[in-house]
Amino acid sequence: MQFKSILIAAAALAGSALAEASTSSLQATLTSTTQIDVPSSCSFKNGYTATAQSDLDSLEDCDAIDGDLYITGDIGTAAIANVRAVYGDLVVYNATGLTSFSADTINTITGEFRMSGLTTLDTLSMGGLTSVGAINWVTLPALTDTGLTSVTECNAILISDTQLASLDGINPTNVETYNVNNNQFLLKIKSDIESVSNSLTVAYNGQGADVAFDQLQWANNITFYSISAISMANLTSVNHSIGFFESNVEDLTFKGLTKVGGDLTMSNNDELTSVDFDQLESVGGGFVVTNNSKLQSVDNFDDLKSVTGAVLITGDLANVSLPSLKSVRGAFSLESDGAADCTPFDELHDSGNIQGEYLCKAAASSSSKSGSSGSGKSTSGGKGGDSTATGSKSSAGDGAAVYSIEYTSVFGAVAALLFALC
């Protein structure tokens, strides 16, 4: 049986589930928001739609707007004057002839600032904006500059399919979701975000984007695709899962990370030569290192004591060393074309500390064996089975639809399949 082919399929399965989700308005609690009295003439229970500049000019006597504001239709340029706050969403969509949009007096949007399907928009000016519930920008292929100066409060960020070369002006400290994907000119992504309570996703931006989140201390889920470098100097904890896929990154160094509550995955990174997680103590889901063609050692995991899910390791590995490992509640599968030593893992298995199915094969190992522990049933069990890594990938269209990718822990199922087919 070809174990490697099943492991490749497992990695694909972990990133394949798509579920459509609506982008409901995020009415954020923004500490810097100053409540402005809104007269009835500026209050729109059912929203206000502008299809011409004259519709926007009629709002110039409003210091604030209560309700959602929509800009769409056959409009070439759009400008909002005097309005300081929008208590609702600001949505600019399907205005395919719109080339510029300005609203420099607006400092607060309590809901979403959504722009979508604006294929000719090349100029945006929102220099006064500091607080916004969510930034949701999708399919803006001509936009080269954010037009923002200092957004310091924002609950969620989704930026996809733009020509942006930087994310200047977007500087929140804490977010629920951060998703930047498919921006081909975005070569560097640097953020001072300190926490991400839902998911952090960076995927398929400029060829080999260089990513730095050096102020980030903790996140719920982290997912990276197609990056060339990553720096997260202060990351100490990931509540659920963290994964690195299909990237040209040469090293993954996380000196301060002590806990991963779900899965830790490094898969299909062709330039990866070094990994260093020397303070990591526990992985609550699966521990996966597969198909990293230049990686020869998995050895800087000196403090790793427990893996709640399965351990899956493949490659041309001369050294696999987990000296502090005491417990694997799921399956264990190590296949190396190099001279990795199976002896310490055989001992861990023989002592009953690997609870699931066991396989260790290495080209020149002093020991190579397979077997089972306990009942012989492979398990990823425990808390690891509940772990997920969630991100989002946007789709073109009317801009209202956003697709979220959920990476669900599949190691129990994979381990069962792996050994059932032997």
Residue 188, helix vs strand vs coil:
strand
How many other CB atoms are there within 10 angstroms of residue 24's CB atom?
A: 11
What is the spatial distance between Cα 157 and Cα 137, in angstroms, rounded to a whole number? 8
Q: What are the backbone dihedrals phi and psi of residue 347, each rounded to the nearest 5 degrees, phi first? A: -65, -40
Write down the pTM of the prediction.
Answer: 0.81
Strands of the 227-231 sheet, one edge to the other: 188-190, 209-212, 227-231
CB atoms within 10 A of CB 229: 16
Give the three-state DSSP class for 213: coil
Residue 29 confidence (pLDDT) above 50? no
Domain ranges within the chain, ordered by starting residue: 3-19+155-420, 33-151
Q: What is the pLDDT of residues 317-348, one digit of tens each?
A: 999 999 999 999 999 999 999 999 999 999 99
pLDDT digits (tens, 9 = 90+) for 259-288: 999 999 999 999 999 999 999 999 999 999
CB atoms within 10 A of CB 355: 22
Residue-wise pLDDT for 180-210, tens only, equals 999 999 999 999 999 999 999 999 999 879 9
Q: Position of tokens 């030593």? A: 341
Instruction: Kindly state the tokens that stand for 350.
Output: 């023989």
24 has a pLDDT exceeding 60: no
Residue 219 is predicted with a pLDDT of 98
* Least confident range of 83-97, 130-144, 401-415: 401-415
Is the pLDDT at 369 greater than 50, yes or no? yes
Query: For residue 380, which of 412, 334, 417 has the smallest C-alpha distance?
Result: 412
Tokens of 380: 């990823």
Please, what sign has the CA dihedral across residues 344, 350, 356, 359?
positive
Tokens at 326, concatenated: 């005491």
